[in-house]
Structure 1
C-alpha cells in the first residue's frame, strides 16, 4: 500500500479504501491514508487531494484579513496600537487569526492518525468558540452605545509608547436611551453569556464527532446560531434605535455604514450554512467535485467573506469613535441618564484576561474529548499502523 520512502507521497485512495471515520458524504476519491507523517501532511498542501482546497481557502484569507485589519493603525488621530482603546480590537484579531489558522491546519494534518484527526477538529471547534467571544468584546466596546472611549485630543494611558502625560485614559458614556435597567442587565451579563454560549458550542460540536453523527452537519451549523444571536445583541439594539452620535457629525457618517456591513455579514453566514448542510454541489454529482469545488470549500469562502464584512463593520465603529469620542446623551433619557454609572473603558483584564480564561476552559474541554478519542480510536489507529508497516515491507 505504501511507497518505499517517506519522501514519496502515498497514493490517494477511494472512499472504500479508508476507514469510514475518514470519509465525507459524496466525496468518492482523493483521500489520504490516515497514517501520514507530519512531512507528508505538509507536502500534501501542494498536492491535489480532497483537503487541499480546504487548507488554502482559510490559509490565504488569513493574510488578507491581517492586511485589512492593520489599516486601522494608520488612521489620522489613531492612538498607538498598544493603547487600551485597541485591546478589544486585538482580541478580535487574535480570535479570527486562530480560527483561520486552526481550520487550515486541521484540514492539513488530520491524516496523521484517527486520533490526531479528532484532536485537530476539536481544536478547530474551540477556535470558532473563541472567535465568537472576540467578536463580542469588539461589539461591547465599539458598538455598545455606552462604551468607554477616550476624550478627543486627550492623553493616552502611559506605558504604551504614548505621550508622557501621566493623566489616565479618560472615558465617557451615553445613556442607553432611557433603558437604565436593560442597560445594567446587558452590561452585567453580555460578556459572561457570550463565554457560556461559546463553551456550550464546543461541547456540542465535539460531541457530534463521537455521537449524533448522522445529523452532525446540521447540529454544528445550528449550534453556532446561538452565539451569533447573543453576540449580535448590541448590533440589533443599534439598528432599532437612534445612533449615539451627534447629527451631521463625521462619526455619524462613518457609523452609517454599519448596517450594510452587518446585513452582508448575515447573508454570507446564511450562504455558508446552506453549503455546509446541503452538501452542494457534490450531492448533485458525486465524484465530480472530490478535489476542487466541493461544499466545504465554498463554506470556507463564505465564512471568510462574512468575517471580512464583520471587520469592516467594526472598523466603521472604531473610526466613528475616534472622530467623536464624546458620545451625545439622548434627549429622551433626561436627567436620569447623567446619573447612570459610566461603562469603563477596556482593560487588559476585561479583554485579554477574558480570552485567556476562555482559552483555558476550551483547552480543558479539548483535553477531555481527546482522551476519549484516544480510548475509542487508539486501538484502531494501532491496527492501521501495523497494516501500513506490513505493506511497507511488502513493497521491498
Structure 2
C-alpha cells in the first residue's frame, strides 16, 4: 500500500518561484554553490547550499543584490528597513511642520543656522538606525569576496550595532524616561555607562570574530550575546521603569515600547539559536533560516521603537531644554560621535590584526 506523506512543503520550495519572479538571477553571475565549495569561514551551520563563490570581482557581489542566494533576504530586509526608517522620519518631520531636523535656517532677521537642541537626539537616533541597517545589509551583500573582506565587513557591522545601541540609549534616556528614573542613581550615570557598554560589546564581538574558528565553541556566542544583552538591559531601563510604574493607557508610546521589547527578545532567540534549520539541514537555505528571521524581527523591532520615540518626543520636547539644559544636551549629542569614533578605531585595530593573521597563515 503506498505511503502518503503529510509533511508541510519546504519554505524554500514554497517561496522560491516567487523570489525568482521578483529577483531574477542575472545571467552574467556564476551560479551559487554548496557549502563544501567555499572555505569554512563562509559556511553557516545547517545551511548546505546557496553560497556565492569566493574570489569573484566586486561587481559580482554588488550585482548579487538581484540574485537568489542564502543571503538575499538578509540583505534586502535591512536595506529596505533603512529606507523605511528614513522615509518615516521624513514623513514625521513634514507632518510636524518641519523644524525638527536639529537645525533650520533662520528668518530674514537672523543669519546662519539656529540649532533646535531638543530634536538633535531624535535625529541621531534615526541616523544610528539607518547606519546599522546599511552596515548590516552591505556586510551580508559583500562579505563573500575574500577572507579579509569578510572580517573587515563584519567588524564594520559591529560598529554599526554599537552606534545604534548608543543612539537608542541617548534617545530613550531623554525622551522616554520619567522624572523618577531621571533623578535616580541609574539615571545620573546612564549615558556614560551606556557608551562604555556599547564600546565594550563592539570590542568583544570583534575579538570573538577573530579569535574563534569553526566549529565555533560556545564561548564565541557568549562573547557576543552577553555584552550586548547587558547593554540592552541598561538601554531599555528608562522604558522598563515606565512600563512597570505607569498606566499603559496614559501614553500611546508604551504599547509600542512593549511590542519593541517582545520583538527584540524574539530576534535575540533566533540570533542565538540556529532554528529551524537545525532540525532540517538544507531545507531553509534560501528562505526561513534563523538569521533571516532575526533580520526580519529586528526590522520590525526598529520600526516599533521609532514610532514609540516619535510619541515620546512630542511628549517631552516642550520641557526638554528646561529640564536638562542646552549645554548638557549638546554634550550628550557630542558623546554620540565620540562613541562612534572609538568603535571605528577599535575595528580598524582589529582589522590590522586580521590582516596580519591571514598573512601569517599564508606563509
TM normalised by structure 2 equals 0.80
Q: Distance in 1 between matches of 2:329 and 2:134?
A: 24
Q: Distance in 2 between matches of 1:72 and 1:344?
A: 25
- 4+ residue runs of structure 1 moved beyond 6 angstroms? none
Residues 43-81 of structure 1 deviation map (CA, whole Å, 9 limit, x = unaligned): 111111111121111111111112222233234576442
Q: Which residue of 2 aligns with 1:89?
A: 122
Q: Tell me how large the CA RMSD over aligned residues is.
A: 2.5
Q: Distance in 1 between matches of 2:255 and 2:197?
A: 26
- 1:1-396 pair list within 5 angstroms: 8-76=28-96, 79-81=99-101, 82=103, 83-145=116-178, 176-177=179-180, 183=183, 185-212=185-212, 213-215=216-218, 216-242=220-246, 256-322=251-317, 325-326=318-319, 342-345=323-326, 349-378=330-359
Higher relative contact order by CA 8 Å / sep ≥ 6: 1 or 2?
1
CA drift at 1:94: 0.8
Higher helix share: 2
CA drift at 1:26: 0.4
Cα distance change of structure 1 residues 259 and 374 upon mapping to structure 2, 3 Å threshold: same
Cα distance change of structure 1 residues 108 and 326 upon mapping to structure 2, 3 Å threshold: closer
Cα distance change of structure 1 residues 9 and 360 upon mapping to structure 2, 3 Å threshold: same
Residues 67-101 of structure 1 deviation map (CA, whole Å, 9 limit, x = unaligned): 22223323457644222221000110111000000
Which sections of structure 1, spanning at least 5 residues, go unmatched? 1-6, 146-175, 244-251, 328-340, 384-396
Q: Which residue of 2 aligns with 1:162?
A: none
TM normalised by structure 1 equals 0.74
Q: Distance in 1 between matches of 2:229 and 2:124?
A: 21
Q: Which residue of 1 aligns with 2:16?
A: none
Cα distance change of structure 1 residues 302 and 15 upon mapping to structure 2, 3 Å threshold: same
CA drift at 1:23: 0.6
The answer to which of 87-96 and 11-20 deviates more is 11-20
Matched-pair contact (CA < 8 Å) for 2:117–2:330 = no
CA drift at 1:12: 2.2
Q: Which has the larger radius of gyration?
A: 1
